[in-house]
Amino acid sequence: MDSLLTGLRAAGEPTRLRLLALCAYGELSVTELTQILGQSQPRVSRHLKLLVDAGLLERFREGALVFYRIADVRSGKSGEAAVLARTLVDLLPDDSADLARDLARLETIRQKRARAADAYFENNASQWNEIRSMHVAEEQVEKKLLSIVGKKTIDSFLDIGTGTGRILALMSERVTQGLGIDQSNEMLAVARAHLEQEGLKNVHVRKGDMYNMPLEDQSVDLATLHLVLHYAQEPQLVINEAARTLKQEGRLIIVDFAPHQEEHLRADHNHQRLGFNNSEIQQSLIDAGLKPGKMHSLQGDPLTVNIWQATLPSLH
């Protein structure tokens, strides 16, 4: 009862209700919200603090920026307040002039993000295309990945080193909630723009270190490391950290290269490892407390893509 009353008091003001509505459409920074509302940053920040304190919004830092989004009903942290936040947004009238103006300005923000993402890809396209040309088509890798995942709905999904957010988008129809973790602010901006363009609201991204992720123990049903592990200086530690987040019977899927001799990938693309052999990954999974499953191999020239999977055994 107290949390509901606190939430109602926090939302019971026009500007805060507008902020709540905007943050239901995606993750927005203080600067972006200030631009949309046309109010001073200190004032907007005060309103946001009240909404966060009441559990209606979630706050997270990404480098120098702070982002806000509507509280996740499933997170367990906000409980009744998160449900209240969604209920209030659903009750907002469709013919609200203020909301219509806010959403029009929000669309301008999204277009700006999309242009920045396109510019990033244009500047880095040659590097991406070079690596893509060396292994089997991405469509084949993704098709195999989806077949391994299966069609059963996954409650909680984690994509480690999410990059452009492509795997989040791919998995969006099969997951209730998905989270992508990445250390690069530039890639997070690209991923966020990509997910917004796709209109995906059940998947989002966070800044985080794959060696020390901002997730609770045993909170994830499925985690993926998609063409990420070869960037790690300590692959075992990354696998250990991924295993830490898995629920009992939760799964980890690793997509990465088989051993190869393309030394220029180390020099030109910062690859720390030139692929992994099957026995090494299988042992790393065992050392992390996981039970390895079947490995799948997709032959390419000169790079072969392997897909490993493992499960955290139940204690029963």
Contacts of 24-27 with C-beta under 8 Å, sequence gap 24+, read: 24/70, 24/85, 24/86, 24/89, 25/103, 25/106, 25/201, 26/69, 26/106, 26/110, 26/192, 26/196, 26/201, 26/204, 27/67, 27/68, 27/69, 27/192, 27/204, 27/205
The count of other CB atoms within 10 Å of the CB of residue 104 is 10
Architecture in CATH for domain 2-103: Orthogonal Bundle (1.10)
For the ranges 67-76, 119-128, 305-314, the maximum mean pLDDT occurs at 305-314
Which of 107-111, 152-156, 177-181, 214-218 has the lowest average pLDDT? 107-111
pTM higher than 0.85: no
* 96: confidence class by pLDDT, cuts 50, 70, 90: confident
Q: Where are the domains of the chain?
A: 2-103, 134-311
C-alpha–C-alpha distance, residues 141 and 300, integer Å: 11
Average pLDDT in the 107-128 region? Answer: 73
- pLDDT at position 120 is 58
Spatial distance between the Cα atoms of 29 and 20, rounded to a whole number of angstroms: 13
Of residues 221 and 66, more confidently modeled = 221
pLDDT reported for residue 44: 95
**255 or 131, greater pLDDT:** 255
Q: What are phi and psi of 191, to 5 degrees?
A: -60, -45
For all residues of the chain together, what is the average pLDDT?
89
pLDDT tens digits, one per residue of 216-235: 999 999 999 999 999 898 89
Confidence at residue 184, expressed as pLDDT on a 0 to 100 scale: 86
pLDDT of residue 126: 58
Mean pLDDT on 165-193 = 92
Of 63 and 230, the one with more pLDDT: 230
Token digits for 73?
């009903």
The CATH superfamily of 134-311 is Vaccinia Virus protein VP39 (3.40.50.150)
What is the pLDDT, as a whole number, of residue 308? 98
**CA 172 from chain center: how many Å?**
11
Coil, strand or helix at 214:
coil
Token digits of residue 68: 């806000």
| pLDDT for position 121 | 54
Q: Report the pLDDT value the prediction gives residue 218, as an integer from 0 to 100.
A: 96
Q: What is the pLDDT of residues 7-28, one digit of tens each?
A: 888 888 999 999 999 999 888 9
Lowest mean pLDDT among 69-73, 232-236, 258-262: 69-73
